[in-house]
Amino acid sequence: MALIYVENKAYKVEDGQNLLAACLSLGFDIPYFCWHPAMHSVGACRQCAVKQFKDKHDARGKIVMSCMTAAVDGVRISIKDPEAHAFRAAVIEWLMLNHPHDCPVCDEGGECHLQDMTVMTGHTRRRYRSNKRTFRNQDLGPFVSHEMNRCIQCYRCVRFYRDYAGGRDLESFSLRNQVYFGRHESGILESEFSGNLVEICPTGVFTDKSLKQHYARKWDLMTAPSVCVHCGLGCNTIPGERYGTLRRIRNRYNGEVNGYFLCDRGRYGYLFVNSPDRLRQPLQRRSRNAAPEPVSVEAALAKVEKIFSGGGGVVGIGSPRAPLEANYALRRLSGPDRFIAGQSDVDLALSRVARQILSEGPARSCSISEAADADAVFVLGEDLSNFAPRLSLALMQSVRRQPLEGLEGIPLWQDAAVRIALQDQRGPLYLAMPAPTRLDAVATVAYQDSPSGIARLGFAVANRLDRNAPGPETLGRDADSLAAEIAAALVGAKRPLVISGAGLGSEAVMQAAANVARALAGRGQAPGLCLTLPEANSLGAALIGGGGLSRAVKAVETGEAATIVILENDLYRRAEPLLVERLLAAPRVIVLDHLLNPAVERADMALPAATFAESDGTLVSSEGRAQRFFKVMPPGEGVRESWRWIEAMALAAGALESPWGTIDNLIRDMAADIPALAPVGEAAPGEGFRLHGQKIARQPRGYSGRTAMNASVNVREPRPPGDPDSPLAFSMEGFQGRPPAPLIQRYWSPGWNSVQALNKFQDEVGGPLKGGDPGKRLINPAASGGSYSVQFPEPFVRPEGEWLIVPLYHIFGSEELSAFSPPVMELAPAAYVALAPDDAAGLGARAGSLVEVALPGGTLRLPVRLIDSLPEGTAGLPVYLPGLEGIVSPGEFARIRVMKQGQQGLT
Amino acid sequence: MLSKEEMQEIEVEASRYETRQAAAIDAMRIVQDRRGWVSDEAVLDLAGFLDMSPAELDSVASFYNQIFRRRVGRHVIQVCDSVSCWLMGYEPLRDLLIRMLGAGMGETTADGRFTLLPVVCLGACDRAPVMLIDEDLHTNIDQGQLETILDKYK
Amino acid sequence: METPLTANIKPGRRPPDIKAYRKAGGYRALREAVLKMRPEEVTQTVKDANLKGRGGAGFDAGLKWSFVPMGEEASGPKYVAINADEMEPGTFKDRLLMEGDPHQLIEGAALAAYAIQADVAYIFLRREYHLSARLLRRAIAEAYDSGCLGQGILGSEYSLDMHLHISAGRYMSGEETGMLNAIEGRRANPRAKPPYPQVSGLWGNPTVVNNVETVCNLPHIVNNGADWFRNLSLTAEGGTKIYGASGRVRRPGTWELPMGTPLRELVEEHAGGMQQGYRLRGIIPGGASTEFLTPAHLDVKMDFVSVEAAGSRLGTGTIIVLDDHSCPVGMTLNLEQFFLRESCGWCTPCWGGLQYAVELLTGIEAGAGRMEDLDTLDSLAAMLAPGHTFCALAPGAAEPLGSALRYFREDFERHIRQQRCPWSS
Ligand SMILES: Cc1cc2nc3c(=O)[nH]c(=O)nc-3n(C[C@H](O)[C@H](O)[C@H](O)COP(=O)(O)O)c2cc1C
Ligand code: SF4
Ligand code: FES
């Protein structure tokens, strides 16, 4: 603790920070631009000037940059000092010399940090009479717009993009008052974190291109706390809505999860909510051969009532992308015995194993922020940049931990100095993957091998750490020394971390990772363990339980069940078409989902299910963190939350005695029913929560057009819809202040209209949100539980003439819902099969050659892509790209032959 | 494509620093010495050769005024426009040059013979006004001599 | 009067090659140091000599070296970078030393390197100095060939590599930390201090940056001792200084004179006074980034402390003379245009403040000024103060601006009143 004096009053602050951070944490307003709580100080903008005094007798003092001055014991400053104030006003005046003052037409207007700071410093009159410098803009791809004339040269964009996120195609060019921030030529930004520029830029240079297509001001957006549904990490988001369409996604700070940043899939995947392929009305078919017809909700409910009151068994197929509540409702309807987990057999097995490993311990599942803090990392089989992107951003920070600890004499917040001192020094990060990944650039070693080779490496590392851990005696080639090197790096670390997951579809790989963690724990280290799973609620689904798809087929084919209810699940992505067909042959098929997919098209009754933006629920991230999301907008007229549809079915079927009515009641039942889910209700305050007797307003105070926006339908102002499920109101009436962390629906504080208002929501800038970061961990490992998995696989031997399929993920294209977002799909590659150059040559194929890939589930015709270090005898197939849905099954073997010219390809 | 000689020269420079990127400026100078300027293709080639991205290299290139990212004439005239030369009458000299060449500051003559650029103080203030043509320093320039001076550069 | 720095420099003659240099006593100091002196002794001698850095800031050279970690605990390679970027307008003294006696520079650089036990020395030369480059390149090769550089220098245990780095331009490359970035192949933005380069410089390793003239003094200090060096000067700051003068004086040029030579002597004696028909109006004493002095200041002694007391800085010690036929506003505009053009664009006061200043000055010079513009310019000059900006470039720009507004106020006001430049016809 240090005692500092601000305006002659003493304050206690944490040691080792700078004055700007300390003062902001104390609640003072100091304007700033180049400083960022996650990226620290470089002293470029000079906006944060304050007056520093030598002692209490010093009346003159000198101007210092608060961000570049250590908050050490005895420091004495004034923010109000007239000279400091005048200097800050001058800085704004300089920043504004070239600024176009185009706020009325600028996307950032109303949530612009530059606007806020201009008002804060009191520079309100333009004196400059000369020309402004102007620039040409670039087309940076589908995510980010570029308007360089608004730039104030704070360097935040390149500091985030290049220094923090490792991107190499955004830079600063030229100099003086003409520094240009962009690419070396127009083109798509390469980093999968490019969307963060939108929030990093303090003014309107980098703005959200998706928002531009249906633009609304921040004050016109209805917002609510939400959780990203596009991978298993559970980043917290704030979606914004107007006129019934979702307009954008913003980051919602969670100090333990995503911090300040999202990946581009998470930011831009949301457009599926507005997709023309949305199912917006119930569809019903009179007979199997008839076309589906739209019907009213009432008619659909009547039909549901008729079907379910008629008795007969129900098979419920749950979903790893639907929240706990919908899955649980379905489980109540079908009964636990006929509840199916709704995952492919491989994924189901893997999420069960993950659940088991994490709950048996002894390694603790690691949050993203803990991962960023790890000082030695071993990744087995996960292409994080594509499979769990936000975690890869965390690892880019983790490689700095060890060198940072060796740094002497430079405060860690001196970002530029620290980077100079560290140069390219990086701490240990070992990657074992079949194919190269984007993280390789920062890895100590990026090792390529087959899945079983990777698992064997993991087992060997565990064995080097603890001789009792089973492991192969020798791995051959360089792998033995690598195993020893990895073991030594992990032993030498204070916070070692092991990462694996479902990406390769290999249980052995996951078990190998668990063994490494166990061996480390056995040595008295406290390893972190991340097991990444593919979908937003994969781990939640594993906690609810449920059988495999073959159990469903049996129930249907033995007549045990006449009705099958499929919850938010395109089964064609989960299993071979033949198996799906057998399921869909059930006498009655009811599908609930958001979008028209092949399963929906085959249903007797398709019920439009609300998306994350129109419903409430809880998702369990791969960390094991239960996180609540809330409706941003009411579901449209024909649409209902899945759990509400199922509630009606369960009531009719007699599986539920009285309606839940609210999600809180459902959660209460679920908690009582499934012990593992007992704490779920604590993830967020219940519906009854009030602040000053009020619900929390989803709409900001400045929300405009309320009396007019529906005038085309009805000139009378409609009553805002009620919300029985949450303490949030669909209205501007209600509490507008700072709600408890899990309910933060937007960042705003008097004078702070931009995302930077977030400082006011944290205990300490960059630290946890006031009252603690949201989410409730459901899985905490038994202290010393678990035993080594003993089965390590044999070395991979390639059967003559066959190719082992390894799945390759693409951040853009491999995930189901974001595949309905046009900008995301603009960046998805076309389907291909990847081969090592030698292997391809052996087949007589070159890059781009068309080949026929014969898999057990069908045959594909794909162009060849060459991947240099792909292990011999493996073929990489991208997951779920258009043309590849549902077919890739890891671990299978394929036969490949080159097609003669003239034969047609699939794509 | 970088020539073998260029690559060899760059390697020599690179060996003098702790990192490969440190040779970036030398590398661009080496290419410019041979080709007159650093074209977009050269930036791509050099970036690859130095394990940099094109943006990273261009960020450096665009900072420095002695790296020519646009094609220049056969001869480059750099006229000192700093204070001592200003005092000693660089402005009329500059204007005369512009008239004689028919090319403004930052421009190249139509015949590709000269490119005219301003440059900061050439460190010969006691002999102002001065200018640099290619590697030759011309001092105490008298307007009447300009023609004779330029004639030496074909 | 002794002129050690220019003893070997004969106008119109080629500089001494290594043979001639050695014959004149060259490399004796280096041999003495590497064979007989401990590094700390060299540093102490230089401290005792009171050698102030000649790059412009006048920082004590020995003191600077003493911040470098020495001995066992000093890890990693260490570096010396010789600042031969000479780009400060009105400055032309390092050129003289490099073109006149390149081996003196190499020996001096090697001595600085030895004092901090550096492994590598870079001579950071601006690209436009083509002749210096040719001469230095040859001299370095000669020095290697004769064992003055490389492995085991002059039969000692000490090894040093020396490379000539040809810069790609920009005044900021001459700023100490900007230079480090330039050598590393980056944009020449400045670096935050602390950490100081002596601890974390090139590639994060200890590095000392010294000006050409600074290190050229070293062989003489080592040869003749600290007392001798201090006694060369007229004031407390040791040594001689290369002074120079440009502008409408009769004999513009450079002279090696005792440190502390009065300004009047420079102008009236060595430069021969003003040219016929011209009157002296102002003097910028040490390069573009120093404040104007006026004829009233002619008796100031030209050393760091005295010029500072007179309200300016010695800077590089090469004076720029403003005459009565030249417009002070135009001169100020020219200076500010230079600083704006060379601003690295890192900190707002510099790129923004200077843009503002240049636009206002352009307006005034073009006859579009308003009286309140002068207040704005005054406050700009005051705001671009050391500590307010990231490096010393912008404060350097503020010095001529603020002093011009002070000393030539009436000329600025005439421009505004007449809505034209009184000097333009
Ligand atoms: C913008 C700027 C440009 C500079 N240019 C030079 C230069 O060209 N040559 C030089 O020796 N010092 C220059 N300096 C001073 C250096 O930063 C540094 O103080 C000097 O090289 C140290 O050498 P010394 O201690 O031997 O004087 C410059 C400083 C600034 C702020
Ligand atoms: S004062 Fe600021 S912008 Fe100017 S050169 Fe220094 S750091 Fe760059
Ligand atoms: S925030 Fe302190 S200088 Fe930019």
Residue-wise DSSP of C355-417: HHHHHHHHHHHTT---HHHHHHHHHHHHHS-TTTSSSSHHHHHHHHHHHHHHHTHHHHHHHHH
3-state secondary structure of C174: helix
**A-B contacts (CB, under 8 Å):** 33
The boundaries of the domain holding residue C315 are 240-323
Strand partners for A181: A172
Q: What is the CATH number of the domain that holds A824?
A: 2.40.40.20
Residue C81 counted as domain residue: yes
Residue C1 counted as domain residue: no
Chain B residues whose CB is inside 8 A of the A174 CB are: 62-63
Q: Is the pLDDT of residue A906 over 50?
A: no
Q: Are residues C346 and A97, on separate chains, in Cβ contact within 8 Å?
A: no
> Which atom of ligand 1 is found nearest the CA of C61?
25
Rounded Cα distance between A622 and A630, Å, is 20
Per-window interface: A 393-452 vs B, CB < 8 A: 423-424
pLDDT on residue A905? 46
**In the predicted model, what is the mean pLDDT of residues A561-587?**
91
**pLDDT confidence band for A783 (50 / 70 / 90):** confident
Q: Are residues A183 and B19, on separate chains, in Cβ contact within 8 Å?
A: no
**In the predicted model, what is the mean pLDDT of residues C331-335?**
98
Residue C359 counted as domain residue: yes
CA of C399 to the centre of ligand 1 (A): 16
Q: Does C169 touch chain A (CB under 8 A)?
A: no
Number of domains in chain A: 3
In this complex, which chains have at least 3 CB pairs below 8 Å with chain B? A, C
> Domain boundary at C177, C196, C231, which?
C231
Rounded Cα distance between C245 and C254, Å, is 7
> Domain boundary at A67, A95, A123, which?
A95
Ligand nearest to the CA of A156: 3
Exposure letters A615-638 (e unless 16+ CB within 10 A, then b): bbbbbbbbbbbbbbbbbbbbbeeb
Rounded Cα distance between A143 and A254, Å, is 23
Per-window interface: B 96-135 vs C, CB < 8 A: 119-128, 132, 135
pLDDT on residue A887? 66
Q: Is the pLDDT of residue A904 over 70?
A: no
- The pLDDT tens digits of the residues spanning A122-146 come to 888 899 999 999 999 999 999 999 9
pLDDT on residue A902? 52
Check whether residue C221 and residue C253 sit in a common domain: no
CA of A67 to the centre of ligand 2 (A): 17
Q: Is the pLDDT of residue A70 over 70?
A: yes
A357 and A510 Cβ atoms separated by less than 8 Å: yes
> Domain boundary at A534, A551, A574, which?
A534
Percent of chain A with pLDDT over 70: 98
HSE, CB side, 13 Å, CA atoms: give it for residue A127: 19
**In the predicted model, what is the mean pLDDT of residues A342-364?**
88
Q: What is the CATH number of the domain that holds A413?
A: 3.40.228.10
Q: Are residues B55 and A184, on separate chains, in Cβ contact within 8 Å?
A: yes
Residue C423 counted as domain residue: no
- The pLDDT tens digits of the residues spanning B62-119 come to 999 999 999 999 999 999 999 999 999 999 999 999 999 999 999 999 999 999 999 9
Q: Does B76 touch chain C (CB under 8 A)?
A: no
Percent of chain C with pLDDT over 90: 96
Rounded Cα distance between A536 and A539, Å, is 8
**pLDDT confidence band for A907 (50 / 70 / 90):** very low
B10 and B21 Cβ atoms separated by less than 8 Å: no
3-state secondary structure A829-895: CCCCEEECHHHHHHHCCCCCCEEEEEECCEEEEEEEEECCCCCCCEEEEECCCCCCCCCCCCCCEEE
**In the predicted model, what is the mean pLDDT of residues A264-277?**
97
Residue C339 counted as domain residue: yes
Number of domains in chain C: 3
Check whether residue C276 and residue C219 sit in a common domain: no
Q: Which residues in B have their CB inside 8 Å of a CB on A?
A: 18-19, 43, 52-56, 58-59, 62-63
- The one-character DSSP state at A145 is E
Q: Does A881 touch chain C (CB under 8 A)?
A: no
Which of A404, A420, A423, A424 to probe by mutation at the C interface, max C CB count within 10 Å?
Answer: A420
Closest in B22, B123, B127 to C129, CB measured: B123
> Domain boundary at A514, A534, A554, which?
A534
Establish whether this prediction's ipTM goes over 0.90: yes
Rounded Cα distance between A376 and A400, Å, is 10
Q: Does A834 touch chain C (CB under 8 A)?
A: no
CA of A91 to the centre of ligand 2 (A): 14
Q: Is the pLDDT of residue A351 over 80?
A: yes
- Pocket lining: C389 vs ligand 2, CB cutoff 6 Å: yes
- The pLDDT tens digits of the residues spanning A618-639 come to 999 999 999 999 999 999 899 9
3-state secondary structure of A697: strand
Check whether residue C136 and residue C209 sit in a common domain: yes
CATH 3.40.30.10 residue window(s) in chain B = 75-151
Q: Does B55 touch chain C (CB under 8 A)?
A: no
Q: Is the pLDDT of residue A886 over 70?
A: no
Identify the sign of the CA torsion A607, A611, A613, A615.
positive
C206 and C74 Cβ atoms separated by less than 8 Å: yes
- Pocket lining: C391 vs ligand 1, CB cutoff 6 Å: yes
> Domain boundary at C323, C345, C364, which?
C323
**pLDDT confidence band for A347 (50 / 70 / 90):** confident
Check whether residue C157 and residue C176 sit in a common domain: yes
Look at C125 and A884; give whichever has higher pLDDT.
C125
Which pair of structure tokens corresponds to residue A426? Answer: 């990086």
Residue A402 counted as domain residue: yes
pLDDT on residue A132? 94
Check whether residue C301 and residue C334 sit in a common domain: no
Estimate the crossing angle of helix A451-465 against helix A507-522, to 10 degrees. Answer: 10
Residue A463 counted as domain residue: yes
Identify the sign of the CA torsion A536, A540, A544, A550.
positive
Check whether residue C30 and residue C140 sit in a common domain: yes
Class of domain B75-151: alpha beta
Check whether residue C199 and residue C248 sit in a common domain: no
Which pair of structure tokens corresponds to residue A766? Answer: 């960059």
pLDDT on residue A782? 79
CA of A20 to the centre of ligand 3 (A): 8
HSE, CB side, 13 Å, CA atoms: give it for residue A732: 11
Check whether residue C194 and residue C216 sit in a common domain: yes
Percent of chain A with pLDDT over 90: 85
Closest in C199, C340, C379 to A176, CB measured: C340
Q: Is the pLDDT of residue A784 over 70?
A: no
Question: How far apart are the CA of C261 and the nearest CA of chain A, in angstroms?
Answer: 34
Average pLDDT over chain B reads 96
CA of A739 to the centre of ligand 2 (A): 42
Least confident range from A285-289, C38-42, C199-203: namely A285-289
pLDDT on residue A903? 52
- The pLDDT tens digits of the residues spanning B114-135 come to 999 999 999 999 999 999 999 9
Residue whose structure tokens are 């379905």: A330
- The pLDDT tens digits of the residues spanning A681-690 come to 999 999 999 9
Q: Is the pLDDT of residue C405 over 50?
A: yes
Which pair of structure tokens corresponds to residue C344? Answer: 């690295």
Nearest to C214 by CA among C365, C420, C63: C63
Rounded Cα distance between B64 and A175, Å, is 9
CA of C389 to the centre of ligand 2 (A): 7
pLDDT on residue A148? 98
- The pLDDT tens digits of the residues spanning A486-504 come to 999 999 999 999 999 999 9
Look at A287 and C263; give whichever has higher pLDDT.
C263
pLDDT on residue A408? 83
The boundaries of the domain holding residue A894 are 803-898
Check whether residue C318 and residue C393 sit in a common domain: no
Q: Are residues C163 and B16, on separate chains, in Cβ contact within 8 Å?
A: yes
Pocket test for ligand 2, best of C88, C189, C341, C401 (most atoms within 8 A of CB): C189
CATH 1.10.10 residue window(s) in chain B = 4-61
Rounded Cα distance between A781 and A360, Å, is 5
Which of B29, B52, B76, B84 to probe by mutation at the C interface, max C CB count within 10 Å?
Answer: B84
Pocket test for ligand 3, best of A17, A29, A30, A46 (most atoms within 8 A of CB): A46
Percent of chain B with pLDDT over 70: 100
> Domain boundary at C172, C205, C231, which?
C231
Residue nearest (by alpha carbon) to ligand 1 atom 25: C53
Residue whose structure tokens are 């949450």: A726
Check whether residue C62 and residue C153 sit in a common domain: yes
Nearest to C136 by CA among C201, C205, C216, C202: C216
CATH architecture of B4-61: Orthogonal Bundle (1.10)
Phi/psi for C130 (5° steps) reads -65, -40
